[in-house]
Amino acid sequence: MKPLAPTDPTSIGGHRLVARLGSGGMGDVYLGATRSGRLVAIKVIKPGLADEDGYRRRFAREVAIAQRVSGAFSADVIEADPDAAQPWLVTSYVAGPTLRQTVRAAGPLPEDTLRVLTLGLAEAVRAIHAAGLVHRDLKPANVLMAHDGPRVIDFGIARSNEAALATQDGSIVGTPGFMSPEQAYGHEITPASDVFSLGSVLCFAATGREPFGQAPAAAMLYRITTAEPDTEGMPPWLREIVTACMAKEPAARPTPDTLLQRLGAAPVPAQGSWLPDAAARLVAEQENEARSYLALPPRPEPRPEPKRRRRWPVIAGAAAAALLVGGAATAVALSGLPGRGGDSGDTDAPPAGAGAAAQGGGTAEQPAGLRPHEFPEPSLTAADFGEPITVQDSRAEPILSLAFRPDGERLLVGGTRMLEIWDVRLGERITDASTGIEGGWVASNVSWSADDRYVAYGDSDGIVHFLERDAPDGGTTSDAHARGVQVTNGIWDLAHDPTGAWLASVGDDLVIRIWDARTGEQLGSIDLSGSRPVVPALAWHPTEPWLATAQGRTAYVMDATVGGDVIAEIEHGGDTVNDVAVSPDGAVLATAGNDHVVNLWDIESGVQVGRLQGHSGPVHEIAFSPDGSLLVTSGGEVVDRSAIVWDLSRQEPLAELDAPGGLNASALAFSHEGALLVVGDREGGIYLWELAR
């Protein structure tokens, strides 16, 4: 929740606007108040978009569906005007975290909470089906945990029973981790599909894990159709229900009425709330924050002709897909930042009625609003960062990128006219792929997959090279075998996802591409080319299929699977973002900027949780230690040549790195187990700190 911007309207449909809940490519969601003072959520299509093909039609359909399911199990629809110059929808404001946020804050839910959640969701699904609809995207992020019970939200891709079929081109609509086998196959979608998804949601609530684990979309869809869900640690009564709901055959699943008959009445909460304490506190915080906006004085009138934000389009790759599951060809389309995929036409704006929004809180000028994050205490001291081991010095060619092999015994080095693999312990070069290079970047960036199977690098000619390990000493295959793919005039960054199956790249054409790391086939892309400055960096989330990037002063965390939801949109504050990194626990995004500052943000809420000030110039590179206790940062230019190791629990410098003859840091990397830190120098030095005890 954030204050209104000067360009925001002050009222919609006679309702006073008091704060901003969220924003996306299609619309904005505001916190508003009726004339009587009742809090409401108001979703408004952005200026000009209503005239674009399909937008008004999609919004009108969403309004009609929301009206059909309005009631005790979703946000009440108060009124709407899809025919207005800026179409809008007003619903009751529901304060409460999502189920995903609740489990992240409180862990797996206690048994009494699970029983109330199961009953509430079964009643909600029954009401949706009674309205003649199939939700098609029931997942933890679409369940609000309100003080009086759960609410199901986001009907942007819901369909009537008669029309609940896969799209004509065979593309999948839904979220892979929580969709049904028939969705994965591209078959007809019936109400039984929502029952399967209900079982998946309950499995997540009870265990804190997705029922089929974490994997790229293709692997996830295969598991859904062939594997059994992970129900370890689930109460026996709930395991029986989940197993029945998640039967592979739709006809074998119980109806919501059958589930309600099995469960009986909900237990009476022992302490007055059905929610665990952590979730109840979040509800109270959101309610109090929302009420506080009602007392704000009137704002100045908005400026004329508000600037319209660009909507970045998706370019679907041909390989995106052809996924063959049980003989049925199914399209897996990656959606673009910042919009939502599928045919809802919606974006990263949370549904009207949502009580939380992924927005940045705090700026470079207002550090007082920081909320603490529980970073672990480091096991290291400043003495651990004393004299480094010199692996290579005075090479005279800048080191641009570094990546460890998962076992920490090999180091991949990329730079100007350079691509090498080194034996870390011996300090000897094993592989040199840079012979005969006359100029330019051989490897502006490098990545070694966490499964130790694939290596990738990008060069100044705009080619993404896919290589496969072929020797025990860490060598790689030749480029002829490696499927080099030219996509632009220069590759700025690339990164393997945590599974090693995907590779993300970005170049000077401002297009993020997602690749199959094994074959070099493009799975999809996100076009950011309509806006400057450039996208500087990419970073994957450690457990979710989420990709962090930045555009100018704004950082984004997006879901790279089907749907392409924006998880967080955060304004760094002072200046352009140069690098992004995600903490090992997946909770925090770090943004490094030209304003000499590294800011830390809670990804789930968008609230600022840290601010590291110590550099005298722009910060260009950042990297978390694997245990999440440290962050290493570098300036790497004439103004600021330093590299600083930060204690995140205290948000203070632990050590400033130095090397014989000085250090002009340009590349940073921790080994996967955290025993080693390597820093590359603009003068060609490679310096290693051994941190394990």
DSSP element (H, E) containing 458: strand 454-458
367, pLDDT greater than 60: no
User: What are the tens digits of pLDDT across the range 203-221?
Assistant: 999 999 999 887 666 677 8
Q: What mean pLDDT comes out for the span 253-275?
A: 81
Query: How many other CB atoms are found less than 10 A from the CB of residue 235?
Result: 15
Q: Are 644 and 631 in contact (CB under 8 A)?
A: no
In the chain, count H helices and then E strands: 9, 41
Q: What mean pLDDT comes out for the span 299-324?
A: 33
**Phi, psi for 402 (deg, rounded to 5):** -140, 145
Binning pLDDT at 50, 70 and 90, where does residue 416 land? confident
Where does 275-398 show beta strands of DSSP type E? 314-315, 323-325, 328-330, 389-392
Res 598: pLDDT: 94
Q: What mean pLDDT comes out for the span 470-494?
A: 54
Higher pLDDT, 459 or 347: 459
Of the candidates 20, 33, 607, which has an alpha carbon nearest to the alpha carbon of residue 295?
Answer: 33
**Phi, psi for 377 (deg, rounded to 5):** -70, 135
Mean of pLDDT over the chain: 76
Task: Show the tokens assigned to 296.
Answer: 């704000």
Res 211: pLDDT: 92
Question: Which of 1-5, 71-75, 430-434 has maximum average pLDDT?
Answer: 1-5
Q: What mean pLDDT comes out for the span 256-281?
A: 80
User: What are the tens digits of pLDDT across the range 76-113?
Assistant: 888 888 888 888 889 888 888 889 888 988 889 999 99
486, pLDDT greater than 70: no
Write down the pTM of the prediction.
Answer: 0.53
Binning pLDDT at 50, 70 and 90, where does residue 636 land? low
The CATH architecture assigned to 399-690 reads: 7 Propeller (2.130)
Higher pLDDT, 166 or 322: 166
307 is in an annotated binding site: no
Binning pLDDT at 50, 70 and 90, where does residue 167 land? very low
Binning pLDDT at 50, 70 and 90, where does residue 435 land? very low
Binning pLDDT at 50, 70 and 90, where does residue 25 land? low
How far is Cα 654 from Cα 381, in angstroms, rounded to an integer? 7
Res 548: pLDDT: 92
165, pLDDT greater than 80: no
18, pLDDT greater than 60: yes
How far is Cα 467 from Cα 553, in angstroms, rounded to an integer? 34
Res 197: pLDDT: 95
Res 170: pLDDT: 44
Would you please indicate which residues are annotated as catalytic (active-site) residues? 137
Vertex 357: Cα angle to 356 and 360 (nearest 5) = 130
Least confident of 41-55, 521-535, 546-560, 675-689: 521-535
* Domains 99-278 and 399-690 alike in fold: no
Task: Show the tokens assigned to 205.
Answer: 């609530």
Q: What mean pLDDT comes out for the span 359-380?
A: 59
With pLDDT > 70 as the criterion, what percentage of the chain qualifies? 74
Binning pLDDT at 50, 70 and 90, where does residue 648 land? very high
Least confident of 245-259, 288-302, 320-334, 378-392: 320-334
Where does 39-122 show beta strands of DSSP type E? 39-45, 77-81, 88-92
Helices 99-106 & 277-293 angle (0-180, nearest 10): 120
Binning pLDDT at 50, 70 and 90, where does residue 637 land? low
Domain 99-278 has CATH 1.10.20.60: no
Binning pLDDT at 50, 70 and 90, where does residue 511 land? confident
Query: How many other CB atoms are found less than 10 A from the CB of residue 617?
Result: 15
Q: What mean pLDDT comes out for the span 458-471?
A: 72
Res 21: pLDDT: 85
DSSP element (H, E) containing 285: helix 277-293
320, pLDDT greater than 70: no
Q: Are 454 and 410 in contact (CB under 8 A)?
A: no
Tell me what percent of the chain is helix, strand and coil, each rounded to the nearest 5.
Answer: 20, 30, 50
485, pLDDT greater than 80: no
Vertex 594: Cα angle to 589 and 598 (nearest 5) = 30
Higher pLDDT, 360 or 82: 82
Q: What mean pLDDT comes out for the span 405-414?
A: 88
Query: How many other CB atoms are found less than 10 A from the CB of residue 176?
Result: 26
Q: Are 473 and 409 in contact (CB under 8 A)?
A: no
Res 371: pLDDT: 58
Res 355: pLDDT: 35
624, pLDDT greater than 50: yes
Of the candidates 401, 486, 411, which has an alpha carbon nearest to the alpha carbon of residue 444?
Answer: 401
556, pLDDT greater than 90: no
Q: Are 657 and 649 in contact (CB under 8 A)?
A: no
Residue spans per domain, the chain = 99-278, 399-690
Amino acid occupying residue 238: L
Q: What mean pLDDT comes out for the span 614-632?
A: 92
Higher pLDDT, 326 or 24: 24
* Residue at token pair 């005890």: 693
Q: Is 400 exposed, middle or buried (0-12, 13-18, 19+ CB in 10 A)?
A: buried
Res 463: pLDDT: 81
Res 133: pLDDT: 84
User: What is the radius of gyration, based on Cα positions, of the chain?
Assistant: 26
481, pLDDT greater than 70: no
314, pLDDT greater than 60: no
